[in-house]
Amino acid sequence: MYKKKISGEQFTLDCINKEFEIIGSTNHWDSFKELCEWAKQEENKRWYADNQFSTIEQYKEWKQYFMEHFYDWQPKRVSKREAEREFGWFNLQYGLKYGFDYNLLYND
């Protein structure tokens, strides 16, 4: 029987911490509960819109981090295509806005 290495909450926390690290923010949370409490504070409710990936490279670094750590959270039998789809949903929920032309991602 497969046992996950980390929980969904831990994976989410790790990815969000990495996201803020990549953009140069000093924000870092030690627990998912701590992150949730911070996000509920009035001045932080728009954290996803008040912060941004300034460059395509930052966004790609975050996506790469997600993909490299995805199998710490999900079983290896999950296909790469499904992992990509999961990233799309994750990015929609927790991703920062883009300070670059998003269409440039598809011109590589």
Q: What is the 3-state secondary structure (H, E, C) of the chain?
A: CCCCCCCHHHHHHHHHHHHHHHCCCCCCCCCHHHHHHHHHCHHHCCHHHHCEECCHHHHHHHHHHHHHHHHHHCCCCCCHHHHHHHHHHHHHHHCCEECCCHHHHHHC
pTM to 2 decimal places: 0.86
- Domain total for the chain? 1
Please indicate, yes or no, if residue 44 is contained in any of the structural domains.
yes
Please indicate, yes or no, if residue 22 is contained in any of the structural domains.
yes
Please indicate, yes or no, if residue 1 is contained in any of the structural domains.
no
Please indicate, yes or no, if residue 2 is contained in any of the structural domains.
no
- Give the domain extent around 18: 8-107
Please indicate, yes or no, if residue 88 is contained in any of the structural domains.
yes
Please indicate, yes or no, if residue 83 is contained in any of the structural domains.
yes
pLDDT by 10s per residue, the chain, length 108: 445 689 999 999 999 999 999 999 999 999 999 999 999 999 999 888 889 999 999 999 999 999 999 999 998 888 999 999 999 999 999 999 888 887 777 765
